[in-house]
Structure 1
Amino acid sequence: LKHSFKAPPPSIPEIHFIFNYIFFVFCEFLLLIIISSLYIFKLIKSCLL
């Protein structure tokens, strides 16, 4: 017995939404890294001086 049931392919808006979400998360992560690295740099600089 063969099951020919297939899940419908995701529509274009769904794919677009997923890519937008991934891009947003990536940008947030990048921003967080930049801010934290700047903060750490300032902290090290203040410790050295």
Structure 2
Amino acid sequence: MNKIQQQKSENISFNYFSLLSLMFVKKYNIQINQKNEKNILSFYS
């Protein structure tokens, strides 16, 4: 039981870290996208 709880808290902190890095990447990508809007528009269409 203790081991399961430990694994759960590790998973939670890992998920939190993944979420933070995902948010950072999204924010960074948005800045890049604003610079390259034409390229992105042609990529998605």
Q: Could you tell me the percent identity over the aligned residues?
A: 14
- TM-score normalised by the chain length of structure 2: 0.68
List runs of 5+ in structure 1 lacking aligned partners. Answer: 1-12
List runs of 5+ in structure 2 lacking aligned partners. Answer: 38-45
Number of matched residues?
A: 37
- TM-score normalised by the chain length of structure 1: 0.64
Q: Give the 5 Å matches for 1:1-49.
A: 13-49=1-37
Judging by fraction of residues, say which structure has more helix.
2
